[in-house]
Amino acid sequence: MITSEVLHIERSNYLATVTDLKSQGYEMCIDVAGVDYLTHPGRELPEGVVPGRYEVVVNLLSLGNRSRVRIRVQVPEDDPTIETLFFLYPGSEAMEREVYDLVGIRFKNHPDLTRILMPEGWEGHPLRKDYSMGAVPIQFKSVNGAG
């Protein structure tokens, strides 16, 4: 089974740490995911980490050392922004767009931060927990006098 290290990083150290990791041989950014912890605030975090509403989870892979590292960054609700990794890993471009599109975290300095899966002009970010599922009540009985 694949084991991987998990790092909790302050948002302000994010870019510096990833730069450092890249120089340590983590040459590939495998995955960028966003999680909205709105309805599950009491998750387990190591001491000293202040939980934010959102979390950006980045998976880096080292081909040479055959190891993975997972970075979890807390992003507060009132300022859902984070630095982009595009300039370190160009491959993170589409993945960051997906996180922006579905979870609504903005990546600073991203060259083309537009929606990727949802259409342009879509309201809201579907993978947020307070996103309305769009349930519409339907009346199954026919209305009197309407044929």
Partner 1 sequence: MSKKMNDSGKVDGASQEQEAESLALVSETSEGPQELQEVEDTGRFELSAEFGSTLRLPEGVDVDPGDIDIEFSDEKMIINMGPQHPSTHGVLRLMMELDGEVILRTKPVVGYLHTGMEKTAEGLTFLQGPTNVTRMDYLSPFHNELVFSMATEKLLGLELPDRASWIRTLMCELNRCTSHLMWMATNGMDLGSSSMMIYGFREREMILAFFEKVTGLRMNHNYIRPGGVAADLPDGWEDDVLAILETIPGRLDEYDELLTGQPIFRERVDNVGIITAEQAIALSATGPILRSTGVAWDLRRDMPYLNYDQVEFDVIVGSIGDCFDRYSVRLNEIRESLRIIAQVVEKMPAGDYKIQDKKVTPPPRLRIDESMEALIHHFKIYTEGFKVPEGEVYVAVESPRGEIGCYMVSDGSAKPYRMHIRGPSFVNLQTLPTMLRGGIIADAIAAISSVDPVMGEVDR
d(CA 71, CA 87): 17
User: Per rule CB under 8 A, is residue 79 in the interface with partner 1?
Assistant: no
Span near partner 1 by CB under 8 A; candidates 12-20, 22-30, 139-147: 22-30
**Residue labelled with tokens 């495998």:** 30
User: Does 5 engage in binding with partner 1 (CB under 8 A)?
Assistant: no
- Choose between 10 and 130: whose C-beta lies nearer to partner 1: 130
Least distance from C-beta 111 to partner 1, angstroms?
A: 4
Alpha-carbon span 64 to 53, nearest angstrom: 35
Residue 38, SS3? coil
Q: How many residues bind to partner 1 according to rule CB under 8 A?
A: 56
CB 75 within 8 A of CB 51: no
CA gap 38, 22 in Å, rounded: 31
Binding string to partner 1 for residues 113 to 132, with x set by CB under 8 A, is what? xxxxxxxxxxxxxxx--xxx
137 forms part of the interface with partner 1 (CB under 8 A): no
